[in-house]
Chains A and B, each alone.
Chain A
Amino acid sequence: MKARLASMRWGRRRTLVAIGLLAIPLAGVLVFRIMPAIASFALSFTEWNLIAPPEFVGLSNFEELVGDPTFWQALWNTIYYVGGAVPGIVGVSLALALILNRGIRGIKIFRTVYFLPVVSSMVAVGIMWRWMFNAQYGLVNAGLGFLGIEPINWLGSQTWAMPALIVVTVWREIGFYMIIFLAALQGVPRHLVEAARLDGAGPWQRFWGVTFPMISPVTFFVSIMAMINTFQAFEYMYVMTEGGPRDSTLTLVYYLYLQGFEYFRTGYASAIALVLFTIILVITIVQWKIGERRVVY
């Protein structure tokens, strides 16, 4: 009896303690994450220059968006950028991880070197590469000249600016994803690969038949993660090209930034934010749906 009473008191106290522990974190998440998310949605139906009171305008922001060629350009640019960067990141980092997983000496040194760009800020990396890509005196063109290729005006050309930004992105991110792949590869049981080898499978077959299916969930996860991150590209464009030349590197987030914080068109920028959110939501849902199926092998 006494024990039960004590445990009841303990239970009630526990609830109080839980409330105490959660009060600050939940209030913070509510005020700084959940409310802004909802507000962003609501704002997209208004027009507000941050000075005069906001005005409800229904769907007119979205109507304007549909007829805005710059928006479509930004959307296309973003898709182009993601489409170039994600396969690059996944392919190169997986290849590097596969090699490093082969009992390479000095693995620590390689890991450190490949990881250096990951800790460097995108701003610093962007500035560094703006110099690398300099049309007249940059090292990239010097290297290409060595191979007999004419200098390219990388960041000044509508054709080459985006590929240059993709190269920088891949360059900075591969170290990060390589580590994830390396951790996954260590989970592939050696004896399975060995068994396949004894059955006469060549290296290529061993990779596609054994190793790849074992790490496919991680590959999938990495692709999604890279996709969600690259869809929000902003820093390189801000530092290296300012969205140019002629909007050829203008991305959705950059356009959102321009509309929201340069032209103070809060409602219109929120409509762009909603488009961005929808795209990322769709990617996440696809991840769940396919992820559930692919995880079982």
Chain B
Amino acid sequence: MSSTETSTGDTPAHEPSPHAPQGAGSQRHLVQPLRVAADGVHHASGAERVAGMEPPPQARVSHMQRHLGWMGKPLYYATLIFGAAMMVVPFLWMFSTSLKVESDVFQFPPEWLPDPARPENYPDALTIAPFARYLANSAFVTITDTVFSLTVCAMAGYAFARFHFRFRNTIFIAVLATMMVPVHVELIPQFILMRGLGWIDTFQALIVPSIFWPFGIFLLRQFFMTVPKELEDAARMDGAGHLRILFGLMVPLSLPAMAALGIFKFMFTWNSLIAPLIFLTSREKFTVTLGLATFQGQYETQWALLMAATVVALVPIITVFLIGQRYFIQGVALSGLKR
């Protein structure tokens, strides 16, 4: 990432062809924002260059299928289903355990269906530790962080993309360089800084440092550079100021990047352990990850209770994922274009 050129225009292979292979129907939403992302320095991919020679998609699919044959397919499905089972079984097992009577947990070989079922584990877990409070704290911290972070990254990204000023590139490279420093390296100075600011055991300590996100600034700058200048000029003719141009034009035109960044931020902040662990001290301020880790410390071997608490901690983020999964997956695909 020594310069932006190497950052964006590195390889056409990152760029999905618009003529996606047979899975195209279900994959199209993945493809579209990626192309926008790569536009910074847009290389025509191999498939695009020979697009004229490609048979129409319909014909190609049947052609493909004929040659792929059906021999490998059952094996593929078997592998995928086996893998999917591996992914799901721990969750199901956790859920099953969470509904058991504590003494039934210790059965070998294990039983899948809790008999008798004990849904009271859930209210129990919720009264032993204030999980509702933890979830509310996590929601507040995560949403505030995400909103402010996107705003700050958009402002800086716009300035770097569209303005000329002295030392612009030097400053930009300095910002990029901080991307290389792992957060764990900065933990101790950040702790000292927070102590100096009197922010220990406050939500600011979790939110404020996290708002300033070099990767976000970088990605939005790349996106803003692809917005045609003419659009900006037209908006200016209509009397729009810089903030109107930024939030009314650039940001809406970069929605895939904004969504991707927002989702990344959301996931990282929601799931983060180390920052709450070192900055928070009082229980009523705990986020759900820290609350759950602490809960485990106390009820280490009460598996039914512990699993119920873990389910409680997981349900909100999994719900958010299932609702917005399109954006999650786009966001991840986009991150492959990071460099």
**Residue B137 at the A interface, CB < 8 A?**
no
Residue from B84, B107, B188 with most neighbouring chain A CB atoms (10 Å): B188
Contact check, A277 vs B108: say whether CB atoms are below 8 A apart: no
**Residue A3 at the B interface, CB < 8 A?**
no
Known: A15-B163, A36-B190, A260-B188. A28 touches B13 (CB 8 A): no
**Residue B26 at the A interface, CB < 8 A?**
yes
Contact with A along B77-115 (1 / 0, CB 8 A): 101100110111111011001000000011111100000
Contact check, A186 vs B20: say whether CB atoms are below 8 A apart: yes
Contact check, A25 vs B45: say whether CB atoms are below 8 A apart: no
- Chain A residues lying within 8 Å of B77, measured Cβ to Cβ, are 104
Contact check, B90 vs A114: say whether CB atoms are below 8 A apart: no
* Contacting residue for B317 out of A104, A121, A234, CB 8 A: A121
Known: A28-B211, A186-B31. A113 touches B155 (CB 8 A): no
- Chain B residues lying within 8 Å of A108, measured Cβ to Cβ, are 26
Question: What is the CB-to-nearest-CB distance from B311 to chain A, in angstroms, rounded to a whole number?
Answer: 9
Q: Which residue from chain B places its CB closest to the CB of A108 in the assembled complex?
A: B26
Known: A36-B190, A137-B105. A180 touches B336 (CB 8 A): yes
**A64-100 residues at the B interface, CB under 8 angstroms:** 95-96, 99-100
Known: A189-B45, A256-B184. A37 touches B271 (CB 8 A): no
Grouping DSSP codes into helix (H, G, I), strand (E, B) and loop, the B interface class, with mixed when no group exceeds half, is helix
Stretch at the interface among A55-63, A127-135, A156-164: A127-135
Contact with A along B1-37 (1 / 0, CB 8 A): 1100010001111111101111100110011001000
Question: What is the CB-to-nearest-CB distance from B302 to chain A, in angstroms, rounded to a whole number?
Answer: 11
Contact check, A121 vs B289: say whether CB atoms are below 8 A apart: yes
Contact check, B163 vs A29: say whether CB atoms are below 8 A apart: no
- Chain A residues lying within 8 Å of B191, measured Cβ to Cβ, are 260-261
Q: Which residue from chain B places its CB closest to the CB of A24 in the assembled complex?
A: B152
* Contacting residue for B318 out of A36, A95, A120, A123, CB 8 A: A120
Contact check, A99 vs B333: say whether CB atoms are below 8 A apart: no
* Contacting residue for A25 out of B67, B153, B293, B310, CB 8 A: B153
- Chain B residues lying within 8 Å of A21, measured Cβ to Cβ, are 155-156, 158-159, 163, 242, 246
Residue from B61, B163, B184, B335 with most neighbouring chain A CB atoms (10 Å): B184
Known: A18-B163, A122-B271, A288-B2. A189 touches B186 (CB 8 A): no
Contact with B along A186-222 (1 / 0, CB 8 A): 1111111010010000000000000000111110011
Q: In the complex, A281→B288 CA distance in Å?
A: 32
Question: What is the CB-to-nearest-CB distance from A94 to chain B, in angstroms, rounded to a whole number?
Answer: 13
**Residue B68 at the A interface, CB < 8 A?**
yes
Q: In the complex, A274→B159 CA distance in Å?
A: 33
Interface residues of A, CB < 8 Å — how many? 110
**Residue B122 at the A interface, CB < 8 A?**
no
Contact with A along B157-193 (1 / 0, CB 8 A): 0111001110000010011001011111111111111
**Residue B248 at the A interface, CB < 8 A?**
no
- Chain B residues lying within 8 Å of A111, measured Cβ to Cβ, are 329
Q: Which residue from chain A places its CB closest to the CB of B278 in the assembled complex?
A: A261
Known: A110-B80, A180-B333, A192-B46. A115 touches B325 (CB 8 A): yes
- Chain A residues lying within 8 Å of B289, measured Cβ to Cβ, are 121, 123-124
Residue from B13, B14, B16 with most neighbouring chain A CB atoms (10 Å): B13
Q: Which residue from chain B places its CB closest to the CB of A13 in the assembled complex?
A: B242
Q: Which residue from chain B places its CB closest to the CB of A138 in the assembled complex?
A: B110
**Residue B274 at the A interface, CB < 8 A?**
yes
Stretch at the interface among B47-55, B124-132, B251-259: B47-55
Q: Which residue from chain B places its CB closest to the CB of A296 in the assembled complex?
A: B11
Known: A33-B178, A260-B188, A295-B11. A186 touches B21 (CB 8 A): yes
**A253-297 residues at the B interface, CB under 8 angstroms:** 253, 256-257, 260-261, 266, 269-270, 273-274, 276-277, 280-281, 284, 288, 291-292, 295
- Chain B residues lying within 8 Å of A29, measured Cβ to Cβ, are 175, 178, 212, 214, 217
Q: In the complex, A189→B60 CA distance in Å?
A: 13
Q: In the complex, A203→B86 CA distance in Å?
A: 27
Known: A123-B289, A184-B13, A192-B46. A103 touches B65 (CB 8 A): yes
* Sample (19) of A-B pairs whose CB atoms are under 8 Å apart: A21-B163, A28-B211, A32-B193, A33-B181, A33-B186, A36-B190, A102-B76, A104-B76, A112-B325, A123-B271, A124-B292, A128-B93, A176-B332, A184-B14, A187-B14, A218-B14, A234-B184, A238-B293, A295-B10
